[in-house]
Amino acid sequence: MSSQYPALLVATPLLAALFISIAGWVYKKLCFPIAVVALSVATYASIGLLLRVLNEGVVHYRLGGWEPPWGIAYYVDHLNGLVLVVVCVVALLNLIGAKKSIDQDFPDKIGPFYTLYILMVTGLLGIVITGDAFNLYVLLEIAALTGYGLLAMGDKRAALSTLNYLYMGTIGACFYLLGVGYLYIVTGSLNMADIARILPPLYESKAVLAAFIICMVGVWLKMAFFPLHAWLPNAYTHAPSASSGLIAPLVTKVMIYVMIRLIFTVFTPEYAFNTLALSNAFVWLAAIAIVMGALFALAERNLKKMFSYIIISEVGYMVGGIWLGNRAGMTGAVLHILNDALMTLCLFLVASNIVYKIQGHSFDDLKGIFRKMPVTMGALVVGALSIIGVPPTCGFFSKWYLISGAVQAGQYGFVAALLFSSLVNVVLFFRVLEIAFFEPFGDHDGHGHTESIDEAPLSMLVPLLIVALGLVIVGVYTGDIVNLVIQFAIPREIL
Amino acid sequence: MKILGLIIAVLTGTLLIYTTSDFPSWGDPSSPASTHLSPHYIEKTLEETSVPNIVTAVLADYRGYDTMFETTVIFGAGVACFFLLRVPRRKEPVERLYRHTLTGMTLRIKDLDEVPENLDEFERIDTLWAPYDLIIKTVCRLLIPFIQLFALYVIAHGHHSPGGGFQGGVILGASFILLAVSYDLRTAKERLREKLGGILCAVGVLIYAGTGALCLLLGLNFLDYSALASILHVDPITARSHGILIVEIGVGLAVMATMIWIYDNISSEGKYEEGL
């Protein structure tokens, strides 16, 4: 059975989404249990797969039994083995944590919501696991399309901001597809490993250069890399909590994985770092992204929007870390995919609990909330410490790797940007905590029910506490994660 | 801002055209695209899958995994449309138009609490657009069965001629939409209820993904149709051809139901009362 883990990982959520859709018409109460079971099976399979990769090395899986490059194949190494586990765990925790808010937000449309949710997870898993450049695009479509559906059902302004996202996301996906088309014209293949094998004699070709740039820009658009970020803050802020809790931690991180995969497996590090002399410019771009994200966040008076700008800043961390081109920087970037997914999940689960009880997410709504929701806000403190980078939370360690990588590469601008954003994060979170802790509770302009506000229900608190605890545990075991997994995820030729 | 956009668009376009100079020339038989993978498909398809139509074999077998997710994309679009647009039935006073079938007189009834459904001498008509259209109705009534028959042919003959599940499914869906356009939405909904349509969408994709999962249960890889040989009592190569037919049927169902679903939601603004 363990040889079928790769297929199970994608097929189980897909089949579950279809069964949920049918259950939505026939017997609505089944939707949630099917979703939980499917994601649990996927989590189990992803962990099994990662263990297999740790023991045996790269795992290949041929779909339909066809040999690549004629058929489509999965390709799982340490890098996507880790990301697969992250996607499954985050999606499962958010699903359980979001049940109450889903019941509150869409009582009539539970079936389609869970269908889209699980389909989106299927899409993300498919993007991460595949070893075929075109197949990646197909799954990208699924993840994007379901994402638009999930985000657009939020408050009044959600539809417009999602339409904005739809335009930008579609352009990004088209760019990626165009790049793959260019690659196909010059290599005649769609399999990533096969393309990498054919490319070396073509390194000087203008078409390959164009393919690389188009793919990168497309992926950057999708991950909201500054200055292509404008769609993200509004789309995530106005979305329903259950959707933003899935999409905010995962979509940007998965797209960063795609960028790393393109560099490592399709174009090869040799081409990306040696043939092209662009790394310096990209690291500077990342430094600007970090600073701008931090400044935008500083200007916000709304909790979810502030979190969204923090994501933009964090995207800069990871893009910069990869383009530093050395082992420490890349270790930091890959580790940060794991850490940032958990940190963002923590923040958005906190926001979800607050929205569930108070129906608002501006700073004014947070007044005195510490006394009413101590556990939720306690988790926010842990999340904040991790984003700021205080040991022993995990955020410290990835930032440490990134900074030491930047020093090795002599990129002091990037170091300065990292330190600057850490300081800004201190200000950001202490401002929030100050409002929540010291301002008197009350005056929730018209939201009503102020007396009855208390701690969020247990089913929302437990996933949040698991995540908050996870931030510390991942931090403590960073050494093991790096030595056992991430070390092997980075190509050997990079020192 | 507009000028800046124009400059960026022109620059990007120039860059793209400039880089095409490294492309192999148009229709070059020695270009990588025609020498790397294509020869294998052209020479081996019949031998490996027993399907005469190479395009169908590549689409539904060699790269069948892509096609499964393309079908899922369509399903996802239908679900998203339903999720965003469908409004639950509200209890509010309605305004309706009825036409007396014998005299052609129309009645407008406002603030109706109890809605009469089936009246002998009156037919319900749309409030916005309800002319007599005897010719259109008759022609469509005559044409629709043939359109549907042709759709079934396209689905079933994907192996041999151009066609397949997507094309056939679209034609089938279009026949229902033609019914909704020429009569009205309610007539079309009586033929295919909303609930049945929604379930069919999922069932279509389920046929595809379920076939894949069945192959997995029978001991081979996901979507390896040759595993079906033991169930279908044919040799593994012929089983691939049958497997393609099964998934094409699934695609056809899913595409048909989703087309109708999306049309219903958009044209009636999610109310399913009347539309277009």
Residues of chain A with pLDDT > 90, as a percent, come to 60
Contact B209 A188 (CB under 8 A): no
Residues from chain A that touch B31, judged by Cβ atoms under 8 A, are 185, 188
pLDDT band at residue B107 under the 50/70/90 scheme: confident
Question: Does the beta carbon of B270 lie under 8 angstroms from any beta carbon of chain A?
Answer: no
pLDDT band at residue A216 under the 50/70/90 scheme: very high
Mean pLDDT of A403-426: 93
Question: Does the beta carbon of B220 lie under 8 angstroms from any beta carbon of chain A?
Answer: yes
Mean pLDDT of A444-468: 75
Rounded to the nearest angstrom, the minimum Cα separation between A15 and chain B is 7
Cα nearest neighbour of B33 on chain A: A188
Mean pLDDT of A52-61: 90
What is the model's pLDDT at position B10?
94
Instruction: Provide the 3-class DSSP secondary structure of residue A302.
Output: strand
| Option in B36, B69, B199 nearest A139 (CB) | B69
Contact B203 A22 (CB under 8 A): yes
Contact A18 B206 (CB under 8 A): yes
Question: Does the beta carbon of A368 lie under 8 angstroms from any beta carbon of chain B?
Answer: no
Q: Can you give the residue ranges of every domain in chain B?
A: 54-90+132-267
Residues from chain B that touch A65, judged by Cβ atoms under 8 A, are 220-221, 224, 226
Question: Does the beta carbon of B24 lie under 8 angstroms from any beta carbon of chain A?
Answer: yes
Mean pLDDT of A454-474: 89
Q: Which of A360-364, B94-98, B135-139, B177-181 has the lowest mean pLDDT?
A: B94-98
How many cross-chain Cβ pairs, A to B, lie less than 8 Å apart? 167
Contact A142 B84 (CB under 8 A): no
Mean pLDDT of A173-180: 94
Mean pLDDT of B248-271: 90
Closest CA to A490 of A259, A262, A331: A331
Contact B226 A189 (CB under 8 A): no
What is the model's pLDDT at position A360?
82
Look at residue A446 and tell me whether its pLDDT is greater than 60.
no
Mean pLDDT of B101-119: 73
Which of the 8 DSSP states describes residue A266? I
What is the model's pLDDT at position A449?
52
Helix or strand run (H / E) with residue A61:
strand A59-62
Contact A188 B24 (CB under 8 A): no
What is the model's pLDDT at position B276?
64
Q: How far apart are CA A112 and CA A31, in angstroms?
A: 9
- Per the prediction, chain B carries an average pLDDT of 86
Structure confidence by residue, pLDDT tens digits, A66-85: 888 888 999 999 999 999 99
Q: How far apart are CA B165 and CA A107, in angstroms?
A: 35
Mean pLDDT of A442-464: 71
Residues from chain B that touch A19, judged by Cβ atoms under 8 A, are 202, 206
Cα nearest neighbour of B210 on chain A: A15
Q: Write out residues 112-151 of B within 8 Å (CB-CB) of A.
A: none
Rounded to the nearest angstrom, the minimum Cα separation between A6 and chain B is 10
What is the model's pLDDT at position A440?
78
Cα nearest neighbour of B88 on chain A: A108
Residues from chain B that touch A116, judged by Cβ atoms under 8 A, are 76, 79-80, 83
List CB contacts of A362: < 8 A, sequence separation 6 or more.
Answer: A301, A302, A303
Q: Write out residues 308-337 of A within 8 Å (CB-CB) of B.
A: none
Structure confidence by residue, pLDDT tens digits, B50-86: 888 888 888 888 898 999 999 999 999 999 999 998 8
Contact B76 A116 (CB under 8 A): yes
Look at residue B91 and tell me whether its pLDDT is greater than 90.
no
Q: Which amino acid is at A34?
A: I
Rounded to the nearest angstrom, the minimum Cα separation between A19 and chain B is 7
Q: Write out residues 35-74 of B within 8 Å (CB-CB) of A.
A: 35-38, 40-41, 61-66, 69-70, 72-73
A229 HSE (CA, 13 A, CB side) = 24
Cα nearest neighbour of B76 on chain A: A146
Question: Does the beta carbon of A158 lie under 8 angstroms from any beta carbon of chain B?
Answer: no
What is the model's pLDDT at position A495?
76
Contact A62 B83 (CB under 8 A): no
Farthest CA pair distance, chain B: 74
Q: Which amino acid is at B77?
A: A
Mean pLDDT of B16-45: 84
Question: Does the beta carbon of B262 lie under 8 angstroms from any beta carbon of chain A?
Answer: no
Question: Does the beta carbon of B5 lie under 8 angstroms from any beta carbon of chain A?
Answer: no
Q: Which amino acid is at B73?
A: V
Mutation target to probe the A interface, by most A beta carbons within 10 A, among B21, B62, B72 is B72
Mutation target to probe the A interface, by most A beta carbons within 10 A, among B25, B63, B196, B211 is B63
Residues from chain B that touch A25, judged by Cβ atoms under 8 A, are 195, 198-199
| Option in B19, B72, B203 nearest A209 (CB) | B19
What is the model's pLDDT at position A451?
57
DSSP string over chain B: -HHHHHHHHHHHHHHHHHHGGGSPPTT-TTSHHHHTTHHHHHHHHHHHH--S-HHHHIIIIITHHHHHHHHHHHHHHHHHHHHHH--------EEEEEEETTT--EEEEEEESSPP---SSEEEE-SS-----HHHHHHHHHHHHHHHHHHHHHHHTTTTSS--HHHHHHHHHHHHHHHHHHS-HHHHHHHS-HHHHHHHHHHHHHHHHHHHHHHHHTTS-TT-GGGGHHHHTS-HHHHHHHHHHHHHHHHHHHHHHHHHHHHHHHHTTT--S---
Structure confidence by residue, pLDDT tens digits, A331-360: 999 999 999 999 999 999 999 998 888 888
- Per the prediction, chain A carries an average pLDDT of 90
Mutation target to probe the A interface, by most A beta carbons within 10 A, among B84, B90, B205, B218 is B84
In our burial notation (b when 16+ CB lie closer than 10 A, e otherwise), range A371-402 reads ebbebbbebbbbbbbbbbbeeebbbbbbbbbb
Mean pLDDT of A362-385: 87
Mutation target to probe the B interface, by most B beta carbons within 10 A, among A9, A20, A70, A166 is A70
Cα nearest neighbour of A150 on chain B: B80
Mean pLDDT of A286-299: 93
| Option in A72, A146, A208 nearest B76 (CB) | A146
Structure confidence by residue, pLDDT tens digits, B200-235: 999 999 999 999 999 988 888 888 888 888 888 888
Structure confidence by residue, pLDDT tens digits, B112-158: 666 666 677 777 777 776 667 788 889 999 999 999 999 999 998 88
What is the model's pLDDT at position B52?
86
What is the model's pLDDT at position B16?
85
List CB contacts of A472: < 8 A, sequence separation 6 or more.
Answer: A382, A392, A393, A394
Residues from chain A that touch B16, judged by Cβ atoms under 8 A, are 210
Residues from chain B that touch A238, judged by Cβ atoms under 8 A, are none
What is the model's pLDDT at position A450?
54
User: Any idea how long chain B is?
Assistant: 276
Q: Determine the distance from the C-alpha atom of residue B126 to the mean position of all C-alpha atoms in its chain, rounded to a whole number.
A: 27
Look at residue B243 and tell me whether its pLDDT is greater than 80.
yes
Q: How far apart are CA A164 and CA A166, in angstroms?
A: 5
What is the model's pLDDT at position B271?
79
ipTM for this model: 0.91
Cα nearest neighbour of A68 on chain B: B62
Cα nearest neighbour of A179 on chain B: B16
The two structure tokens encoding residue B73? 């994309």
Structure confidence by residue, pLDDT tens digits, A110-157: 899 999 999 999 999 999 999 999 999 999 999 999 999 999 988 888
What is the model's pLDDT at position B117?
66
What is the model's pLDDT at position A401?
93
Question: Does the beta carbon of B218 lie under 8 angstroms from any beta carbon of chain A?
Answer: no
What is the model's pLDDT at position A414?
92
Question: Does the beta carbon of B237 lie under 8 angstroms from any beta carbon of chain A?
Answer: no
